Structure 1
Amino acid sequence: MASVGVYCILVFFMLLLGDINPVCGILEKKVGDWQMIYRARSRNGQSVVNSYMKQGVASEQTETNTDCVSVNRRDQCSTNYRHSMIDRWDSSGVQKVRLELYKEGELVAHVVFNGKSTTSTSWFSKENVLSSNWIDLKESNYEKGNHFSFFGYRDNDIDRRLYINKEWKRGCGSHKGWMVVVEGMTRGNGCNYEVSSSYPVFLYIPHTYADFFDDYKREADVLVISVIANRVNAV
């Protein structure tokens, strides 16, 4: 038993150095000071918001497949990864939150947020943005229908989550923004840019400023949320 304890201690220090730890009943990923707490695959039929918010469901204690914390869609894990820290947000001392989008294993978009005094969803706001590849992300825009929201915009026909848009008027062709997670729609009642054969889809603008979704949107494969926090793992 002692040897197992020593082994787990060694693996713990490997984790601190940024390695994936698929043993000792734990699957986690750290990169420097950042630790992944959520990872979603596109087009896997699983709601990003529902799986992120599902209290009591934690992947790090049950998963053994390291592909489930991979940023490469080719890795064979179609399920979403969720760390139990999301349920302990208030007591974890969150300092920063980072949202990342990956395409074919390459980082294509990111936003870093101030995580202090936030909840597990309120960190996702314009006021909390610290840095991003989108240099105009904090531009003021208060027109009706604009969103910078984790829960986004939803009605009977459209389901847009983690939605950051800049203009929403004069029909679908004028929709301009930075990113949106489309979790579903009724064909014919949404916009052409969000029509897909399967969901969710992670849409983003590939350049450094907001632009028209119809003309310039691209689709990412993987969405990752990571944190810098005082206590990520349960004591």
Structure 2
Amino acid sequence: MEKKVGDWQVIYRARSRNGQSVVKSYMKLGGASEQTEKNSACVSNNGRDYCRKNYRHSMIDRWDSSKVEKVRLELYHDGQMVAHIVFNGTATTSTSWFSQDRVISSNWFDLKEPNTEEGKQFSFFGYSNNDIDRRLYINKHWKGGCSFHKGWMMVIEGLDRGNGCNYEVSLSYPVFLYNPHTYADFYDDFKREADVLVISVIAKRVNAV
């Protein structure tokens, strides 16, 4: 099961609140879906389409030889795109493309602006300790406590009760939080949730030969 949209090839698709870590399933060496998965819902942009696990293309394991040119991350809610970022994927690894200096375009117009504020993050692996797991984390500011946390998006993979911030408390994980505005804003104020996360590439060689 594969999905192409123009020149873009879907290499990863995750559903929120399915109990599966985005980072672990994306990084799982040898975990491939395109030759075994028959359910078209596994590459759907609509979270209402049920798939039992996250979709992972084996191309992620062959990143170096695939000659990736661009990478696109998209967030969807009820089948509608609510956020996107296009990255320059040349000379990257399977995670290093997720970087501010590689952003080509986005619905967030200030994403490429210099950020010197305390708590800035732009990291695939994000911020994690024993209590908090914020992945694919693009944050602008966090000084002053939870009500002052400001940014663009994060994947919350878990939270011990009594720790973390109110905006990341959920009955199930992962949760895909995003900013609905075109600029960084306070998480407590927006707290919008996407239900599908999709990563696609334009590459010269996606499938093994």
User: Normalising by the residue count of structure 2, what TM-score does the alignment of the two structures yield?
Assistant: 0.99
In structure 2, what is the equivalent of residue 114 of structure 1? 88
Alpha-carbon distance, 1:145 to partner: 2.4
Give the aligned partner of residue 63 of structure 2.
Answer: 89
Mapping of 1:1-235 within 5 angstroms?
A: 27-235=1-209
CA distance in structure 1 between the partners assigned to 2:117 and 2:40 by the alignment: 44
Structure 1 moving runs of 4+ over 2 Å: 142-145
Kindly indicate which of the two structures has a greater share of residues assigned to strand.
2
Q: Deviation per CA, 1:171-212, whole angstroms, max 9, x where unpaired?
A: 000000000000001111100000000000000000100000
The structure with the greater share of residues assigned to helix is 1
Shift in Å at residue 39 of structure 1? 0.1
Mapped to 2, the partners of 1:74 and 1:200 lie a distance apart of: 16
Distance 1:86 1:63 in 2: 16
CA RMSD between the two structures: 0.7
Q: Distance in 2 between matches of 1:153 and 1:224?
A: 21
Q: What is the letter of the counterpart of residue 213 of structure 1?
A: Y
Secondary structure of 1:215 counterpart: helix
- 1:114-151 deviation digits (Å, cap 9, x = unpaired): 00010000000000000000000011113342110000
Distance across 1 between alignment mates of 2:50 and 2:168: 25
Q: Distance in 1 between matches of 2:142 and 2:120?
A: 6
Distance in 1, Cα, partners of 2:79 & 2:117: 36
Contact 1:101–1:110, Cα closer than 8 Å, also in 2: yes
Query: CA deviation digits over 1:25-54, x for unaligned, max 9?
Result: xx1000000000000000000000000000
Cα distance in 2 for residues equivalent to 1:130 and 1:73: 27
RCO higher in 1 or 2 (8 Å CA, sep ≥ 6)?
2
Kindly provide the amino acid, as one letter, of the partner of residue 99 in structure 1: L
Once residues 156 and 47 of structure 2 are traced to their aligned partners in structure 1, the CA distance between those partners, rounded to angstroms, is: 18
Aligned residues: 209
The question of whether the paired residues in 2 share the 8 Å contact of 1:163 and 1:180 is answered with yes
Q: Give the distance between the partners of 1:181 and 1:76, measured in 2 at CA.
A: 20
CA contact (8 A) 1:41 1:78 kept: no
CA contact (8 A) 1:167 1:176 kept: yes
Structure 2, unaligned runs of 5 or more = none
How far apart are residue 61 of structure 1 and its match? 1.1
Contact 1:166 1:177 in 2 (8 A): yes
